[in-house]
Amino acid sequence: MNYTFHWLPAFRALPEMLWGALVTLEIAVLSMVLGVLFAVLLAVGASSQYRIFRAAAVSWVELARNTPALFQIYMAYFGLGSLGIHLDSFVALLAGITFNNAGYLAETFRGGLRAVPQTQVRAARSLGMGQIQAFRLVVMPQMFRIVFYPLTNQMVWAILMTSLGVIVGLNNDLTGVTQEYNVRSFRTFEYFALAAVIYYLLAKFVTVSARLMAWRLFRY
Amino acid sequence: MSIEIQDVHKAFGSLEVVKGVTMTVEKGEVVSIIGGSGSGKSTLLMCINGLEPINSGRILVDGTDVHGRGTDLNKLRRKIGIVFQQWNAFPHLTVLENVMLAPRKVLGKSKAEAEAIAVEKLARVGLSEKIKVYPSKLSGGQQQRMAIARALAMSPDYMLFDEVTSALDPQLVGEVLDTMRLLSSEGMTMIVVTHEIAFAREVSNRVAFFHKGRIHEIGPPAQVIGNPREPETIDFLKSVL
């Protein structure tokens, strides 16, 4: 091995990479917020009495879970582009990851809902609560605990998926910035190793804070 | 003031489990329902507060048709407390919060009022020491007493008990029966579906023996349990005593 490591240029790039990490986090958070909203719609849609809603929800979930995330993002950018719908890189990446998140989370929510026994609803109704009250006060808090860790996992997954933005030309997220430096200097190992450390710390930050939150929230 | 059950039929699919039951429970009365499993006794209880729809007949609670078209079931259920075989504590709430929830959210009481009610009811079932803990830390008997307190917190006029001791370890049955004894001594109107024949005999004004979806015998405990007339009742009592 006659490669000489040059870490200094990589560390010089650190401030800009950290700004990139902020963009990464921004996309991940947005994709999760939107993902949760769509997932709720999908979970409701999957049990709808109308066939068209059921079919739409099931197709979404199936495609999101059984095709590569890379393709989903690619389709949002180039696929829609060839149909004349031009999204910018940021929006295409966000749409792709949101599509993926929603598909996975819809299943998580459906499972969470099933895991709360019907007898809990019955007990709530027997105390005079309406259907919505029983759901809000008794079912939802229990469901939230069940879906909490899967939700955290998806958040980590979303952060890592943002790196795929590079294939649709995103250049200001962590991978985008890293790649810009890489093509200028070809210090691939150094830049990407540093970026990997930052991704690792971001992901760890999410899991550790989730654990702390769970400890505060779920005392039972 | 009474619960009137008039020729009620109830089927699950093609399986009819309640086949024309008629009985009236007057305010202040304790009526026990005994009978083998699958005799329709628990189902009837679910029909009384509208948790299960009925196929025909009528159930009137203080004159209100439970299954009538315009009946506000949520409102009606405030005066009919029910305790289930599986105690159904809300696991995400402390014992105190379990009991406070419905008074606050259904009756619209303030936090302080609801807490005062809950503390009082929990004291009555002997759980004052446990108000801050989560149900998972309670024994089955304690959870069941909490469920009784939770129902009582709505100040119901009627209490329905659905085999509340059946899922308990034998040594925990006594504490729950004691709580029910206390209630009956205070004049609470109760319908008690139970396998505890001795208990039924002791607290009830009347005992109804259910068999295959019908009441075979109903009357004072001294008669139905002490001196049954119907062969089915005799057989059943022989099998459980």
Domains of chain B: 2-88+158-240 (3.40.50.300)
* Average of per-residue pLDDT values in chain B: 94
For the stretch B51-102, pLDDT in tens is: 999 999 999 999 999 999 999 999 999 999 999 998 899 999 999 999 999 9
* B13 pLDDT above the threshold of 80: yes
Q: What is the pLDDT of residue B54?
A: 95
Tell me whether residue A56 is in a domain: yes
Tell me the two tokens of residue B62. Answer: 């203080």
A140 touches chain B (CB under 8 A): no
ipTM computed for the complex:
0.91
Contacts with B135 from chain A: Cβ below 8 Å: 220
Query: Sheet containing B30-35: which strands, arranged edge to edge?
Result: B80-83, B158-162, B189-193, B30-35, B206-211, B214-219
For the stretch B150-168, pLDDT in tens is: 999 999 999 999 999 988 8
Residue A29: count of CB within 10 angstroms of its CB = 13
Instruction: Return d(Cα B27, Cα A145) in angstroms, integer.
Output: 43
Tell me whether residue A55 is in a domain: yes
Place of tokens 């985008």: A176
- Name which of A119, A120, A128 is nearest B154 (Cβ-Cβ): A128
Tell me whether residue A211 is in a domain: yes
Tell me whether residue A163 is in a domain: yes
pTM beyond 0.90: no
pLDDT band at B236 (very low <50, low <70, confident <90, very high): very high
- What does DSSP assign to residue B40? S
Considering its fold, how many domains does chain A have in total? 1
For the stretch B110-153, pLDDT in tens is: 999 999 999 999 999 999 999 999 999 999 999 999 999 999 99
CA distance B78 to chain A (A): 5
Domain with A111 in it: what CATH number? 1.10.3720.10
A130 touches chain B (CB under 8 A): yes
Q: Which domain holds residue A52?
A: 7-217
Decide if A122 contacts B51 (C-beta within 8 A). yes
Q: What is the pLDDT of residue B87?
A: 83
Nearest C-alpha neighbor of B174 from the set B160, B161, B164:
B164
Pairing, β B64-65 against β B56-61: antiparallel
Which residue type does B189 have?
Answer: T
- Name which of A120, A128, A141 is nearest B88 (Cβ-Cβ): A120
Tell me whether residue A1 is in a domain: no
| pLDDT > 70 in chain B, percent | 100
- The one-digit pLDDT tens for each residue of chain A (220 residues) are 788 888 888 888 899 999 999 999 999 999 999 999 999 999 989 888 899 999 999 999 999 999 999 999 999 999 999 999 999 999 999 999 999 999 999 999 999 999 999 999 999 999 999 999 999 999 999 999 999 999 999 999 999 999 999 999 999 999 999 999 999 888 899 999 999 999 999 999 999 999 999 998 888 8
Decide if A128 contacts B75 (C-beta within 8 A). yes
Instruction: Return d(Cα B168, Cα B64) in angstroms, integer.
Output: 35
CA distance B232 to chain A (A): 33
Tell me whether residue A2 is in a domain: no
Decide if B204 contacts B221 (C-beta within 8 A). yes
Q: What is the pLDDT of residue A48?
A: 86
Q: Which 3 state secondary structure label does DSSP give B201? A: helix
Tell me the two tokens of residue B238. Answer: 């022989």
Tell me whether residue A150 is in a domain: yes
